[in-house]
Amino acid sequence: MFINNKTKLEHSQNFLHSKKLVSELIRESNIGNKDIVIEIGGGKGIITEQLAKKCNKVYVIEYDLDLYENLKVKFSNRKNIEIIYGDFLEFELPKEHRYKVFSSIPYNITAAILSKLTSSCNPPEEIYIIIQEEAARKYAGNPYNRESMRSLLLKPYFDFKIIRKLKKTDFMPVPKVNSVFFRIQKRKNSLIKQDKIGLYYDFISYIFSKSGKDMKSRCKDIFSYKQIKRLSRDIGFKITDSPTYLNYEQWLKVFQYFIIGVSGEKKKLVYNSYSKLLEEQKKIDKIHRSRKKVAFLIL
Ligand SMILES: C[S@@+](CC[C@H](N)C(=O)[O-])C[C@H]1O[C@@H](n2cnc3c(N)ncnc32)[C@H](O)[C@@H]1O
């Protein structure tokens, strides 16, 4: 009994209980009858059931053995539902096919799930997730929150939208935190040209990894005082603002200026900043996750 409770807590299980709500959420998405959809954590199948009526095929990955076995039985006669046992984080995403994700995700692995999906070489066309409100705001940045390094690194490729807020009582057991229905949509074309995207990643990582609280101190090695003063006037920020005060559009303008107005020597200062950041992140992830590798192939 004790072991069961512990397992359930680790798997972050707050279940939706209203079929009406689930069908509204699916209606608010762009899931259609041609779509192949991955559901992370099927739980008791409340989303799976209705997704399968709307789309071509649903692949459900469930990490709780009891829930997995119940789902297998419940959907044994449904040809367009495939239930897979395992950890989504060890699951191999489709390499070529178009697909979407629809899921009420386990909140304890939000960052790992979103990092896996958005950094894939073939990311989902659309990700519809129920997620903790605070996390959604951080990912989306402006206009829901101030921008973060994460939102600025993702925005060239993805568009974010909080579709609606949910009530705590929409879940059983009732969670302590607020939740939202959130959409991450892959852009048809990146907002930054392919040959400049590496430099943009390095540039943003450099500024956000630098010490100093404001734009003036973080940019001092790449822009002269005169340049940062002019940029602040033209783009509309204060040199004493924190980098998170500038929105994505303003950052694009600062980056454009960095491309044309800064010497090659100064550009070199930002090189490899993104890969250094990833290395540090990897070290942190290694500490957090020492899971056994189980790979699943789908599609
Ligand atoms: C918040 S519940 C949502 C369940 C159900 N879809 C619903 O809406 O009621 C999250 C589900 O993800 C499962 N889960 C937790 N960690 C997982 C992982 N690493 N991989 C796959 N499923 C996981 C849990 O067992 C649980 O069923």
The tens place of each residue's pLDDT in the chain, 299 residues long, gives 333 444 444 567 899 999 999 999 999 999 999 999 999 999 999 999 999 999 999 999 999 999 999 999 999 999 999 999 999 999 999 999 999 999 999 999 999 999 999 999 999 999 999 999 999 999 999 999 999 999 999 999 999 999 999 999 999 999 999 999 999 999 999 889 999 999 999 999 999 999 999 999 999 999 999 999 999 999 999 999 999 999 999 999 999 999 999 999 999 999 999 999 999 888 877 776 654 443 333 33
CATH architecture of 15-186: 3-Layer(aba) Sandwich (3.40)
pLDDT value of residue 185: 98
Residue 18 marked ligand-binding: no
- Four-CA torsion 278, 279, 284, 290, nearest 10 degrees: 110
**Would you say the CB of residue 14 lies under 6 angstroms from ligand 1?**
yes
**Would you say the CB of residue 132 lies under 6 angstroms from ligand 1?**
no
**Would you say the CB of residue 270 lies under 6 angstroms from ligand 1?**
no
Q: Distance between CA 296 and CA 180 in Å, rounded? A: 29
pTM here?
A: 0.91
**How many Å lie between the centroid of ligand 1 and the Cα of residue 202?**
35
| Residue pair 125/185 in contact by the 8 Å Cβ criterion | yes
Residue nearest to ligand 1 atom 11, measured at CA: 41
Domain boundaries, the chain: 15-186, 194-276
pLDDT value of residue 282: 81
**How many Å lie between the centroid of ligand 1 and the Cα of residue 189?**
32
Task: Enumerate residues 6+ apart whose C-beta is below 8 A from 267.
Answer: 199, 222, 258
Q: Distance between CA 257 and CA 231 in Å, rounded? A: 8
Residue labelled with tokens 């942190």: 284
- Interface predicted TM-score (ipTM): 0.99
pLDDT value of residue 9: 44
**Would you say the CB of residue 88 lies under 6 angstroms from ligand 1?**
yes
**How many Å lie between the centroid of ligand 1 and the Cα of residue 235?**
44
Residue nearest to ligand 1 atom 14, measured at CA: 41
pLDDT value of residue 201: 97
Q: Distance between CA 255 and CA 286 in Å, rounded? A: 32
**Would you say the CB of residue 206 lies under 6 angstroms from ligand 1?**
no
pLDDT value of residue 17: 98
**Would you say the CB of residue 87 lies under 6 angstroms from ligand 1?**
yes
pLDDT value of residue 290: 55
pLDDT value of residue 287: 72
**Would you say the CB of residue 45 lies under 6 angstroms from ligand 1?**
no
Residue 86 marked ligand-binding: no
